[in-house]
Structure 1
Amino acid sequence: MTAVRTTCPYCGVGCGVLVTPDGKGGARIEGDPDHPANFGRLCSKGTALGETLRLAGRILTPRIGGQVATWDAALDLVADRFLAAIRDHGPDSVALYLSGQMLTEDYYVANKLIKGYIGTANVDTNSRLCMASSVAGHSRAFGTDTVPGTYEDLDQADLVVLVGSNLAWCHPVLFQRLMAAKAARGTRIVVVDPRRTTTCDIADLHLALAPGSDAALFNAALVALADRGAVDDAYIAQHLSGFEDALAAARASDGSMTGLAPDDLADFLDWYVTTERVVTIYSQGINQSESGTDKVNAILNCHLATGRIGRPGMGPFSVTGQPNAMGGREVGGLANMLACHLDIENPDHRAAVQGFWDSPTMPEKPGLKAVEMFQAVAQGRIRALWIIHTNPAASMPDADAVARAIEGCDFVVVSDVTQTDTTALADVIMPATAWGEKSGTVTNSDRTISRQRPFLPTPGHARDDWRMIADVAGRMGWGDAFGWDSPAQIFAEYAQLSRLAGDLGRDFDISGLAGADYDALPPTRWPVSARRQGGRFFGAGGFFTPDARARMLPIAPRLPVAVTGRRYPFRLNTGRVRDQWHTMTRTALAPRLNQHTAEPFLEIHPRDAADLGLAPACLARVISPRGQAILRIAITDRVQCGQVFAPMHWTGETAPTGRVDALVAAVTDPVSGQPESKASVVDIAPLNPAWYGFAVSVGPLTPDATYWARARHAGGWRGELAGMDAPEDWEGYARALFDLPDATCLSVEDRVRGTHRLAFMEGGRTLAALFAASEPMQLARGHLAAQVGRAGATLLAGRPGAGQTDPGPTVCACLNVGLNTITAAIAMQNLTTVEQIGAALQAGTSCGSCRPELATLLAARLEAAE
């Protein structure tokens, strides 16, 4: 079948994808060699997209109160309840909570409804948790939320400083681009991060600064730039305001709060001062902070003062976490914005948008940002809430409180693709189309607009998000304003609105696309207008402030407010793992993506682990002032003493005691409203369960255990379990776990060692197996998962038998190459370089995000041989 050009639904890199449907609901996935974001490269997640297209678990029909309903009944009820809330409590009693998974056209329709017709700005998005501090920092400095540079700058820089960004795992295609630049032109790389991440493996310098002290580091850089004559006096005089005040504040700040070794700090400052072509890439480590906006402006101050902005190979660069976080920013998806980068508090902007929409109303002040919104839900100030394509009951800070708020809300609508912690709390569930089924546009981190095109039929009764919103708007009495027949018509209207933004002196103007061939639209970097076409911003000034001058701000660095102490002695950093994305509703469907990291974990320094009596692979209870979690212990010096790290992907569906955002306090940046997700305080204690278990099954697992985490594998499911009390009847427990009341059970017990092994057979096939012991078990987990569903019961041995091989945990998810396969090849073929491993096994030759792990395996082999 003909390949369809579309865009990956994961991170903000915005990779082009060539999809060839197989006519059976599946598809072959390849990188698009002509897309400027990736030139054919894909990461492990993008490569596995074809494995996520199954309909199992999909929401395919509307539901009211848990019961199947018609679309008319669901839409009528939503419209009636929203109208009733507005009538009885005013427009601010309703809210929409959106997602970077929405396409730009969906976002546009939602914002038109709530701001222009309902008349409230109570609309926010999970992008608030991702890059709101960058938006605020850009706006304070530039006058608009403008990304100055492009991906090409990574190819042309002589120094790239990565701040709070594990690019190797979170944006692997950009990481591969950076590796290529380093190999081709010797680009120096500095990583600024309290934790030693995989990205550090290609760094020339790793600055493991104290959590939250980034602004102090860049204040020190600003002082060094000024003292050593690296500022651009002409650029300052012509294009900036506030330089002297910003420099004075930088001189007054205490650089020692970074905790960096003097030699490391001196090297960084020397490189930063003497290198003109500098790109500073920053991400969640900067944004997700109670002082995130100030951190952003501290970075921007350095680039503005030197004029290293908007020219090839230089500038600040925010990389975003969602496929359409940028599109949501452009269309006014945040509570404090209007569409096309117009300001909700500017009366001329409000009048322009309201006039264009011919709408009855327009809010005059910002609405509630994400954390405030759910606090208002808890307080009963929001009576009707519509959540679209996101799972705040798991992903918001103080997640348990958010779940309680949603559960207690008068009326909750959730539009989504699969069941989540949040859909379980909804009064109305509306089935949405997913990637591969819907049509629209997304914007990536360097302002490139790309099409998402459908290549699969719409399943069941699912509908596009824009269609649902427009149908509700029509039932609320505004059908004429929401009468589009296609996303192409919505995009054309949006592009026309952007002309007004251009006329008002704003950066976002895509009016040149208003009459474009929507179906054939190629990747296009905005702006696109008669005034300007793509390119970089600010190399020659031209800022979007009233006087066209950028603002440098005086920054007084401050560390996170919450302090550690005897009760909560550890600082918790949260983040991502390589092969999973957000709350795993899509990535967890691909079995190979579950093989690298199959359960939630906590990284802790060896000295801290020894002090607490924690052994490798044991379980620990992690307690914060807001909640608690149970996590698997990973002892490593990647984290510093007193600091711990946990990934945030697991939910009530996959590991109910591993919901890390239940630990995170709802502390926000006062300017951006973005939560602090990198510095909550916690205590840690061994769990000491009576038993640990590992289970594999062809069918779903329904655990009854103190701790459990489940994941798909190629033949079914696998799970890690633990309980505080051992079952009296292990066979009965296992039958309930697997829902196999009648299958034949084979069991092996060692009462002295306290081990139990049970396999359930039917027709000579192994349907499930449970391994339990009083301590964590060393088992060939990948091998065991592969044996389920096959004939025989040899898997009870827990390891491969004669003539069988165990590839081990997956290292290269793109090409499905396991740890044992790699280590065996290194030993047998005497491999000494990552390139040799690639030639022998193909590992590391696709997205490249596993290359640092391959290098670590080689180093361990060489060290053992010495």
Structure 2
Amino acid sequence: MNHSQHHELSTLIPVTTTKRTQQLGQTTCPYCGVGCGVDVIRQQDGRNASLKSVAGTPEHPANFGRLCIKGTNLLQTNGAENRLLSPSVAGKNVSWDTATGLVAEKIKDVIAKHGPEAVAFYVSGQLLTEDYYVANKLMKGYIGSANIDTNSRLCMSSAVAAYKRAFGEDLVPCSYNDLEHTDLLVLVGSNAAWTHPVLFQRMERAKLRNPDLNVVLIDPRATDSSTLADLHLPLKPGTDAALFNGLLHFLVTQGHTDNTFIADSTNGFEAAVENASVWSTAAVANYCDLPEASVIQFYTMFAKKTTAITFFSMGINQSTTGVDKGNAIINCHLASGKIGKPGSGPFSITGQPNAMGGREVGGLANMLAAHMDIDNAEHRKNVQTFWQSPVMAERQGLKAVDMFERMAAGDIKFVWIMATNPVVSMPNRPQIEAALEKCETVVVSDIVANTDTLAFADIVLPATGWSEKDGTVTNSERRISRQRGLLPAPGEARHDWQIICDVAGKMGFADSFSYAHVSEIFDEHTRLTTYKNHGERALNLCGLSGMTVSEYDRLSPTQWPVADATCQGTERLFSDGKFFTADRRANFIAIQPAAPAQLTCEAFPFVLNSGRLRDQWHTMTRTGKAAKLFRHTAQATLAMHPDDAEKLSLKEGDLAALSAASSGGMTTILPVTLETRQRKGEVFAPIHWSKAWGSHCQIGALFNGANDEISGQPELKHAAVAIQPAAFTTGGQIAVRNSALLSQLTDVADYWVKIPAEHCESAQVASYAKAEDLLQKWQSVLPENCIMLTRQQDDKASAVILQNEILAAVVWTDSNAQAMPLEWLDSLFATSADLPDATLAALLRGQPDEAYLLGPQICSCFNVRQKTINDAIEAGAATVDALGDQLQCGTNCGSCRSELKRMIDQQADARVLLHSIDEGALS
């Protein structure tokens, strides 16, 4: 029996024995950095295998059985449609031997002509640790360049640099259990309710169990996470460092420092305090645009609580001074001694499933494997000796933004992009496109057949995805978990590590990349963490070395360090007051707050913030397959304060055009959502949509690539933009049974965005043409065997298209078109029977059934809509649990619970306001 056969049998536990065998497979969710365990029922029917259901793994310590809405719908995103199934060169399918041979030839040719620095890999936190390991090994030890960087640069690199400056190593000191043992939880730049829902539910439960737990939200926006907060500080964007410098000053002046810990375990305290000394509460309030009383309230909480966790994320990291902001937070924990003990510490939460695993194996341009330092000659020698490699990168490589800048300049001749979509996710989209156009050879390994980046690929390699990939990931609390292969690879797809090793072999390095099983890569990684590591590096996986294939298959979730075979993992770091600097003392860093780089001006007066939504993931290459995940938010919108919208003559649903100095003529167009929780002068847009989804969905073009000079992390929370109404003549909506009909959208409309449903696909459109002309354009692209029923009234025109008497498409055009409820349309396309005349007439008039006029969906699991929930609240359901008892909302994945709480609070606030108005009238 070969290794792969042994693996497949050893990771699946039979739960029934019938003609169709069902087995339980345990794996890890492929989305955010929480690292939730997932139980999957796999059904084997002869030679055919399929996945039947998913649920959270009850015993997994990251989630204890919980899954968010994205995890709950993993199977809906796992279909074979739109998968890359064969390697191709210049758009033509080729054999694997041809494809990998050409990749190897191109790399060798570039090295021969231009040197190794002309080669680059751009990889991803979606890779497994073993994939990352061999990619890094090939680049740094065999190609001889450090030009391997990752989309984790956009996510965690500022936190990493802050930890390294303070602690000597990339170390997240906390555990998820600390969230349940703290007296103060400070959420900074994190909308955990939407971005990490499973952890947010643990926070909610902790607050219920401990009435003394205070929660502070520090965020310019009143996100759904504010529903848990006792105090919300809506600070001016980019001013976080001043806020935490002020906290350090307050701790010192009010006598709330841990002087023994500072003396015994730290360096640099005096310099940090001196830099913070100008930040009085009044100065902080003025700089951060906050009430001084709120600043004092927060500082007093932090000072007087015995324990505190500062839970920070992209709102801190994605900044030109993200590293300093991270160190400003860490300084406060060091000064107060709130570190290395239960319920305390600076806790950066990861955005991607394996950002930490990638860093463990050196998957960024400025590091070596096993947390060794590329700037350290001894470390370089150690890694080269361990690998027995012919060369070793001698200096830091190009970080993501720099990599694409040098590519655009013509210095990078070959780039291999793995498991990521940089044309969408990187800032400065015009430059990214220009770079890929300029690059002589662009190789893309991916699982999906249409992304914005694939349009630039010369060589395309089909990779495996979740449910097929096999290896390990590391979550935000340093916990290594298995992501297990449960299904065979579709078509000719291969694991990323296999593709990389095949290329390495054809470059002449077969002896060093001949792994028979993925467990051999993991074992090599663990041994490298122990190699010449005499306790100076925390990353030590000694206890996981030497595992058999069977032991690797059965690996339980384990937090590193795992220093010896008897160690079961390490929950919390620094409990002994020792760190991983040369003198084992933590470093205070003197911080000088600085403004964002992309400042507003008269021409670009609005601050644009970007981020994730609740039900979507990155560029939607997976979540975009699940129509259910569009019910909560159907398309990208621009959140704007009503006062700003009024000044621009924009109202709810109007299309707004955004531009920036860096957008290079690219205009982003989004419908407006009025939001009083948004600060005036600031707007918010989600990151997920791209040109694959809409004609003007290009958020990345609005950010200019400004980045932190230490970490290289781009500033993706603060762009300066201009906004004006999009001057279209006609709006409209199209719904079709066959999505192929929407391939003509670019020919029909000047603006469009696709919205999928289960039985149809819809698009919102806009045009400079009149309504009747837009309708005629649409008619011209229809198949010949269609019957079109039309209705025209004033500046409105609509059509119902029948094909063989079955509903094929519906079109509405209107100078002020309002979107029809997609659920209504979906219900009509669900049938293959003739529709009654009354229904056809309702379609032409755009008059949906009453049952579908209940507002946006709030609970995706049970399809509970806004009006239904508001009616229940008005009738007396005053808690989230009461709503769950009555409507089921919030009782499954729990992702909507924070939104339900916000709706309850809004109605309560409205009643208080109405009562005060009534009292005023009576008086």
TM range (shorter): over 0.9
1:781 Cα deviation from its structure 2 partner: 3.0
Instruction: Mark the CA change 1:801 to 1:684 in structure 2 (over 3 Å): closer, same or farther.
Output: closer
Partners of 1:561 and 1:584 in 2: how far apart?
29
Residue pair 2:219, 2:233 contacting (<8 A) in 1 also = yes
Worse overlay, 812-821 or 386-395: 812-821
Alignment match, 2:856? 809
Alignment match, 2:225? 199
Alignment match, 1:687? 726
Residue pair 1:621, 1:686 contacting (<8 A) in 2 also = yes
Alignment match, 2:899? 853
Instruction: Mark the CA change 1:843 to 1:475 in structure 2 (over 3 Å): closer, same or farther.
Output: same
SS at match of 1:449: strand
SS at match of 1:374: helix
Partners of 1:858 and 1:160 in 2: how far apart?
23
Partners of 2:849 and 2:175 in 1: how far apart?
53
1:856 Cα deviation from its structure 2 partner: 3.6
SS at match of 1:656: coil
2:605 to 542, 554, 569: 569
1:834 to 870, 875, 880: 880
CA-to-partner distance for each residue in 1:343-389, whole Å, 9 max, x for gaps? 00111111111100000111111000000000011011110000001
Residue pair 1:498, 1:508 contacting (<8 A) in 2 also = yes
SS at match of 1:238: helix
SS at match of 1:394: helix
Partners of 1:736 and 1:617 in 2: how far apart?
28
1:217 Cα deviation from its structure 2 partner: 0.5
Are 2:287 and 1:257 aligned?
A: yes
Partners of 2:275 and 2:581 in 1: how far apart?
22
Residue pair 1:26, 1:54 contacting (<8 A) in 2 also = no
Are 2:25 and 1:4 aligned?
A: yes
SS at match of 2:161: helix
1:787 Cα deviation from its structure 2 partner: 1.6
Alignment match, 1:452? 483
1:762 Cα deviation from its structure 2 partner: 2.5
1:772 to 808, 813, 831: 813
Alignment match, 1:145? 170
Worse overlay, 9-18 or 851-860: 851-860
Residue pair 1:342, 1:501 contacting (<8 A) in 2 also = no
SS at match of 2:156: helix
SS at match of 1:343: coil
Identity %: 45
Instruction: Mark the CA change 1:726 to 1:504 in structure 2 (over 3 Å): closer, same or farther.
Output: farther
Residue pair 1:96, 1:386 contacting (<8 A) in 2 also = yes
1:218 to 229, 236, 244: 244
Partners of 1:620 and 1:501 in 2: how far apart?
58
1:615 Cα deviation from its structure 2 partner: 1.1
1:597 Cα deviation from its structure 2 partner: 1.0
Partners of 1:377 and 1:580 in 2: how far apart?
30
Worse overlay, 562-571 or 618-627: 562-571
1:729 Cα deviation from its structure 2 partner: 4.2
Alignment match, 2:256? 230
Alignment match, 1:499? 530
Residue pair 2:862, 2:888 contacting (<8 A) in 1 also = yes
Residue identity in the other structure for 1:296? G
Residue pair 2:820, 2:848 contacting (<8 A) in 1 also = no
1:511 to 542, 549, 560: 542
Q: How does 1:589-608 map to 2 (within 5 A)?
A: 589-608=625-644
Instruction: Mark the CA change 1:806 to 1:763 in structure 2 (over 3 Å): closer, same or farther.
Output: farther
CA-to-partner distance for each residue in 1:117-160, whole Å, 9 max, x for gaps? 00000000000000100000000000000111100000001100
1:728 Cα deviation from its structure 2 partner: 5.2
Residue pair 2:53, 2:75 contacting (<8 A) in 1 also = yes
Are 2:715 and 1:676 aligned?
A: yes
Alignment match, 1:309? 339
Partners of 1:731 and 1:298 in 2: how far apart?
58
Residue pair 1:581, 1:649 contacting (<8 A) in 2 also = yes
1:724 to 768, 776, 781: 768
* Structure 2: gaps spanning 5 or more residues: 1-21, 916-923
1:485 Cα deviation from its structure 2 partner: 1.3
TM-score by length of structure 2 reads 0.91
Partners of 1:386 and 1:760 in 2: how far apart?
45
1:642 to 681, 686, 692: 681
1:844 to 878, 886, 890: 890
1:847 Cα deviation from its structure 2 partner: 3.1
1:523 to 557, 563, 582: 557
SS at match of 2:552: coil
Partners of 2:107 and 2:779 in 1: how far apart?
47
SS at match of 2:155: helix
Worse overlay, 650-659 or 352-361: 650-659
1:771 Cα deviation from its structure 2 partner: 1.4
Partners of 1:239 and 1:718 in 2: how far apart?
60
Alignment match, 2:614? 578
Alignment match, 2:305? 275
Residue pair 2:771, 2:815 contacting (<8 A) in 1 also = no
Partners of 2:243 and 2:650 in 1: how far apart?
34
SS at match of 2:708: coil
Instruction: Mark the CA change 1:225 to 1:571 in structure 2 (over 3 Å): closer, same or farther.
Output: same
Partners of 2:820 and 2:445 in 1: how far apart?
41
CA-to-partner distance for each residue in 1:10-34, whole Å, 9 max, x for gaps? 0000000001134564431101111
Partners of 2:682 and 2:856 in 1: how far apart?
27
Q: How does 1:273-352 map to 2 (within 5 A)?
A: 273-352=303-382
Partners of 2:462 and 2:106 in 1: how far apart?
19
Residue identity in the other structure for 1:235? F
Worse overlay, 740-749 or 446-455: 740-749
Q: How does 1:90-109 map to 2 (within 5 A)?
A: 90-109=115-134
Residue pair 1:783, 1:808 contacting (<8 A) in 2 also = no
TM-score by length of structure 1 reads 0.97
1:860 Cα deviation from its structure 2 partner: 5.0
CA-to-partner distance for each residue in 1:726-783, whole Å, 9 max, x for gaps? 365445423456x544222122221x2x112211112432122111110131533321
Residue identity in the other structure for 1:382? I
Residue identity in the other structure for 1:764? E
Instruction: Mark the CA change 1:159 to 1:860 in structure 2 (over 3 Å): closer, same or farther.
Output: closer
Q: How does 1:779-794 map to 2 (within 5 A)?
A: 779-790=820-831, 791=833, 792=835, 793=840, 794=842
Alignment match, 2:383? 353
SS at match of 1:335: coil
Alignment match, 2:692? 653
Partners of 1:75 and 1:405 in 2: how far apart?
23
Partners of 2:572 and 2:271 in 1: how far apart?
27
Worse overlay, 671-680 or 792-801: 792-801
Partners of 1:728 and 1:835 in 2: how far apart?
50
Are 2:284 and 1:240 aligned?
A: no
Partners of 1:613 and 1:430 in 2: how far apart?
48
Residue identity in the other structure for 2:676? D
Partners of 1:655 and 1:610 in 2: how far apart?
26
CA-to-partner distance for each residue in 1:280-309, whole Å, 9 max, x for gaps? 000000000000000000000011112111
Alignment match, 1:714? 758
Partners of 1:565 and 1:505 in 2: how far apart?
49
Partners of 1:57 and 1:79 in 2: how far apart?
27
Instruction: Give the paired residue count.
Output: 861
Instruction: Mark the CA change 1:515 to 1:115 in structure 2 (over 3 Å): closer, same or farther.
Output: same
Alignment match, 2:494? 463
Instruction: Mark the CA change 1:235 to 1:858 in structure 2 (over 3 Å): closer, same or farther.
Output: closer
Residue pair 1:22, 1:28 contacting (<8 A) in 2 also = no
Partners of 2:343 and 2:862 in 1: how far apart?
33
Partners of 2:293 and 2:872 in 1: how far apart?
40
Are 2:604 and 1:556 aligned?
A: no
Q: How does 1:344-493 map to 2 (within 5 A)?
A: 344-418=374-448, 419-493=450-524
1:830 Cα deviation from its structure 2 partner: 4.3
Residue identity in the other structure for 2:39? L
Partners of 1:376 and 1:27 in 2: how far apart?
47
Partners of 1:504 and 1:426 in 2: how far apart?
45
Residue identity in the other structure for 2:154? L
